Amino acid sequence: MLAIDVIVPQTTPRLWQKIVIERLRSDGHDVAVLQQPGTAGWPGSAKAAFAFEQRLFRRRRPNLAAALNEIPVQPTGRPAALRLDLSGNAPRSDVPTIGLLFDGSQSDLAVARAIAAGRLPVIEAVLDGKAVARARPMVDKRESVALGTEDVLARAITLVVSVAKAFADGRPLQNEQSSEARSAPATQFLPAYLGSALPRLGREIIRRVGYRHAHWRVGYRFTDAPGVAETGRLGNGWSILPDPGDHFYADPFPFEWQGRSFLFVEDYPHATGKAVISVIAFDANGVPEAPRVVLEEPHHLSYPQVFERDGAVWMLPEASASGKLTLYRASAFPDHWTAETVLVEGEISDATLLEHEGLLWLFATDRDGYGSTSDTLVVFSAPALTGPWTPHAGNPILIDHRAARPGGAFVRSPDGRIVLPVQDGTLGYGGGLSLSELLQLDRQTVRLSAPRPIVADGDWPYPKIHTLNRAGRLEVIDGIAAVRRRSGKQ
């Protein structure tokens, strides 16, 4: 692959930088490690805050921001084709050099400062002074500075490894326009932590004492009119799928079969914390029957995408906790499903199928070892449903909390446009849903339009949605509700 010189801080390097080196070596690169005096260290207040939160959230393993005594120098005698400056202070060189900017700063402390202040930082990969790639990481637990910082640094690893891969493959690194990160306000850690982060953490602790951590509700309507994907608005006419309060329904996927409408959902019992897949059949008047469980595994299941192909009915549920994406075939629709084959290995979330120009494609997110499951888009292609599935040459396609994670099946409009609902994690998981148009898709390129937020107007009472689907006249969404612990009712 490549001969790469990685330049690390001489004192108190960080765990995420060590993992960058390990990942590059596992990809086959010839990596030398050099040392250079780094940027200013982290203040004692940040170290104390991280130690406190690690204990509070019972995280035993070291945070990616944890300081190490040293990353030992490992020189080689060969000339480098690329340098990675993780110190922020590498001297100039004729060798192409990639560095990172965190909210415009060369210090990763800027990540902790941004999270403490309640902002989502942007990471830029800079090649010889010009930004060539950008990541907008998702932060799953906005109430925790330590865990949020880890989410961001996880994507620093992903970004560096992906840029090195593109460089090795000879793919052009495109200059990025200057971002909002360059004008991010300077924030001192301690005032931001005391004034913003600690109150935020306290409010979340109080909320969780009285309310379920998350409780989703499914909305449905039967309509002949253009739907949300066409109008960009929720509109009116929604009914709420009843739930008993001690478990919730989410990730709705409708399916028409032999003249009847069925709805497959994630069915999450709060007591077990592990979801199964249930189905709801609708009668001729559009009234839902009682839900019944149709698929259960030892691991969590969700996002039950159901479709017909090759003379059979299939389900492709999300099962990232199992470390693999498994395809199921209906042995007796809708109640009995048989695991057919594993399509992709890894922590793959919300894989969404598309047939396009003679190939099958899967759009999904990949956790990539650490961090959020919602910010790193990967794409796979195959000649047939059962594979073999090949990762796209450009993976990861993007790192963006606003547009990476699918939120429902692709929608084909009458004029030929292809639109993908995508989850918007700007306000946290389940914060909203947007629509992105597929502009280009082939083995070399994946391009999606900038996400267009769905307007949460009308009579749906839960505006924080994260799934949109339609089959025939049945259109479905879901939204997060505030449900008290003591009664199981809103």
> If we measure between CA atoms, which residue out of 413, 459, 462 comes closest to residue 435?
413
The C-alpha torsion from 77 through 81 and 84 to 85, rounded to 10°, is: 70
3-209 CATH pick, 3.30.1050, 3.30.70, 1.10.8, 3.40.50: 3.40.50
Domain boundaries, the chain: 3-209, 212-480
Q: Which positions ≥6 away from 154 have C-beta within 8 Å?
A: 16, 64, 137, 368, 369, 370, 371, 372
**Hunting for tokens 């080689």 — which residue is that?**
76
- Paired tokens of 308: 């017909």
Q: Which residues pair with 67 in a beta bridge?
A: 14
Question: Distance between CA 137 and CA 108 in Å, rounded?
Answer: 14
Cβ neighbours, 10 Å, residue 105: 20
Question: Distance between CA 113 and CA 43 in Å, rounded?
Answer: 11
The predicted pLDDT at position 178 comes to: 54
The predicted pLDDT at position 185 comes to: 56
Q: Say if CB 235 and CB 458 are below 8 A apart.
A: yes
3-class SS of residue 124: strand
Q: Whole-prediction pTM value?
A: 0.94
Degrees to nearest 5, angle at CA 365 with 243 and 121: 100
The predicted pLDDT at position 382 comes to: 98
The predicted pLDDT at position 486 comes to: 63
pLDDT tens for the 490 residues of the chain, in order: 899 999 999 999 999 999 999 999 999 999 999 999 887 789 999 999 999 999 999 999 999 999 999 999 998 888 999 999 999 989 899 999 999 999 999 999 999 999 999 999 999 999 988 999 999 999 999 999 999 999 999 999 999 999 999 999 998 787 776 554 444 555 699 999 999 999 999 999 998 888 888 899 999 999 999 999 999 999 999 999 999 989 999 999 999 999 999 999 999 999 999 999 999 999 999 999 999 999 999 999 999 999 999 999 999 999 999 999 999 999 999 999 999 999 999 999 999 999 999 999 999 999 999 999 999 999 999 999 999 999 999 999 999 999 999 999 999 988 889 999 999 999 888 889 999 999 999 999 999 999 999 999 999 999 899 999 999 999 999 999 988 886 544 4
The predicted pLDDT at position 181 comes to: 46
Q: Say if CB 332 and CB 315 are below 8 A apart.
A: no
Q: Say if CB 398 and CB 404 are below 8 A apart.
A: yes
212-480 CATH pick, 2.115.10.20, 3.30.390.50, 3.30.930.10, 3.10.129.10: 2.115.10.20
